[in-house]
Structure 1
Amino acid sequence: MRVVMPAVFFGHGSPMNALQSNRYTQSWRRFGRSIARPEAILAISAHWYLPGSAVTAGRYPETIHDFGGFPPELYSVTYPAPGSPELARRVQELLRPLEVRSDERRGLDHGTWSVLAHLFPDADIPVVQLSIDSTMSPEFHYETGRRLQPLREEGVLVLGSGNLVHNLAAYAWDNIAEPPFDWAARFEHKARKLIIEGRGRELVDYRDMGEDARLSVPTPEHFLPLLYILALQREDEPLSFPVEGIEGGSLSMLSVSVGR
């Protein structure tokens, strides 16, 4: 009998985390060692945000270096995990009648591989990415996440990658140890409280949660992957926060795991 896999949201932060050993990446490694080995991974990353829904369907997805201004060694990082056209088709099946386009050319962006490089450093587990439709509401994304529930019983780890608080305009670039700004700390605390109380669905309405939310989530793409993971929590299912912390004053590295 297959183990029901957890579902997890990671605050991925800087792509430099792919190369670094710090308290965040060390926690990612511990988490990867603490769970059953998945048969495949479905990733929802902030960095595949476009009109429409699509799923990667190639057998050998490339490592996408979708950033600029970083040291040369970061551009040499590869994460050569195989793809899974079979999982891509299963995702399309679960999301019907929603039209989900197969993309055989799209690779894995840094929101996915910078985390997986620590979770599963051998890169030997098939990985598929599902895009985030930029034209749709938070409610749509939450409900889409709910429809992916069967994957957890099929050995698939569903992984969301973004940041609960993500305001780079306010980020203290010259001091990543800058204490959390008051608004960032308050919004993270409120979101965490709702999640602990089993009211995570209320975060669908984050745009109505006042100025703290507006500053913490100035654009939606890093927040929406969290909704997919919260939607996968079953009634009375345990959850945990494998990683905590806010860096640069305005970037939450909080991780949320459901089912573990």
Structure 2
Amino acid sequence: MTNRAPALFVGHGSPMNAIEDTPSSRGWADIAKRFPQPNAIVMISAHWVTEGVKITSTANPRTIHDFGRGFPKALFEVQYPAPGDPDLARAIAEKLTAFGAELDDTWGLDHGAWSVVKHMYPDADVPIVQVSLDIRRPASEHYAIAQALADLRDDNILVIGSGNIVHNLPAFFRAPSPDPQAWVATYDKLIVSGVANDHTKVVNYTAQPDAAIAAPDWEHFMPVVYALGARHDGETPYFFNRHYYPGISMTAFAYGLPQ
């Protein structure tokens, strides 16, 4: 019997986590040691937003440096040469036929993907297929897409959503001190309680108190919904990386860790 891979959500934060030794990057490396290496990864990143559901289909996806010029040269020099998996991409497209999913050979691995996975699997030896975030769909349909992906886990395929529960960059850059605003922890804890006990609270995240300020960037929140939808019955979340910064929470969670 094959291993059932977990479903993860990771708060990825700054691209600098890719090259720095931070509490969050250490947390990503540590979580990967908690379960067997997967056969492949299906990644849903905040940084690939499309009209329609797209699936990367190339055998050798490029490393995309999709961030501004203010970052150091060393970050732009990072290459993460993990292979793709065209066969898996086609299988995913078939699973998502009802959602009009299409293969895409133009995208690669954006920093929401490689900045995290390079700490989990530094040898870049696990194939990665990215599934885009369809800008046209409400959270309930993203949840349904995730549910359609959930049984991939039974083939030891790891499902990862990469974004942030709390993501407000203006609040990060304009903060008067390094201390997080009170609403960062308040909203993060509210969503954490929903992940553990009430999925409707998470899917309806915009209706929750402080959502307008804590989660104004839908594309960074929606990967939470993908990890949620990929959960199997009876699984309880394991939370890690509970780190707060002005305007940002780095909280991550996993369903289906081996006991």
TM tier, shorter chain? over 0.9
The CA deviation at 1:124 is 0.7
Q: Give the alignment partner of residue 229 of structure 2, picking from 228, 231, 242.
A: 231
Matched ranges for 1:109-148 at <5 A: 109-148=110-149
Runs (5+) with no aligned partner, structure 2: none
Name the residue aligned to 2:27. Answer: 27
Q: Is the 8 A contact 1:201 1:230 kept in 2?
A: no
Distance 2:3 2:138 in 1: 32
Distance 2:57 2:139 in 1: 25
Name the residue aligned to 1:216. Answer: 214
- Alpha-carbon displacement from aligned partner over 1:162-196 (angstroms, at most 9, x marks no partner): 00000001004688x82221122111111111222
Q: 1:214 to 1:173 in 2, by over 3 A?
A: closer
Counterpart of 2:244, as a letter, is I
Counterpart of 1:223, as a letter, is F
Larger helix percent: 2
Distance 2:155 2:200 in 1: 24
Name the residue aligned to 2:253. Answer: 256
Counterpart of 1:94, as a letter, is K
Runs (5+) with no aligned partner, structure 1: none
Name the residue aligned to 2:179. Answer: 179
Distance 1:161 1:170 in 2: 20
Distance 1:189 1:154 in 2: 32
**RMSD between superposed Cα atoms in Å:** 1.4
Q: Percent identity?
A: 39
SS of the counterpart of 1:97? Answer: helix
Name the residue aligned to 1:88. Answer: 89
Q: 1:173 to 1:60 in 2, by over 3 A?
A: farther
Q: Is the 8 A contact 1:172 1:178 kept in 2?
A: no
SS of the counterpart of 2:254? Answer: strand
Distance 2:219 2:160 in 1: 15
**Matched residues, number:** 256
SS of the counterpart of 2:42? Answer: strand
| Correspondence 1:158 to 2:159 | yes
